[in-house]
Amino acid sequence: MCSSHRHIMAERAKELRNNMTWAEKKLWYKFLREYEPRFCAQKVVGNYILDFYCNKVRLCIELDGDSHYNTRAIRYDEIRTLYLEMEEIEVLRFTNTDIKESFEGVCVTIDQAVKRRRNDLSNTLFATLRSKH
């Protein structure tokens, strides 16, 4: 990837970070922002911008709104997921409805995936979040 393309991708990622969807904001501010290991929002990987990415466990989290449900978008997501899997990055996909109606379940799924990919993690942040409810 040439430097001008990288620059364009970085600028687009910054724009997306500054204009998160309501679902992205909720997941970021209520769970991922302080989760350990650290996640990045709108991370450029190859030719793609990932909604959330943790390099330490090579885990990508994608939130799919209505735009992801047409034939072209479904095919694009399949190709993108295949690329990421070839880079040994696991992709977790959730819908905006999942965030709205089953937020704690989404957080549990993410926490379990992180632990599955990294056995030495402590459960401190998630345990703290659960104890508050």
Q: Which residue has the higher pLDDT, 73 or 103?
A: 103
Q: Domain ranges for the chain, please list them.
A: 3-131
CATH number of 3-131: 3.40.960.10
Strands (E), the chain: 40-45, 48-54, 59-64, 90-95
Q: Which residue has the higher pLDDT, 12 or 52?
A: 52
Cβ of 57: how many Cβ atoms within 10 Å? 17
Task: Tell me if 106 sits within 8 A of 52, measured CB to CB.
Answer: no
**Environment class of 63 (CB within 10 Å of its CB; exposed 0-12, middle 13-18, buried 19+):** buried
Q: Which residue has the higher pLDDT, 122 or 6?
A: 6
For 78-129, how does the pLDDT look when each residue is reduced to its tens digit (9 = 90+)? 999 999 999 999 999 999 999 999 999 999 999 999 999 986 544 545 555 5
Give residue 127's pLDDT. 55
Residue 42: pLDDT over 60: yes
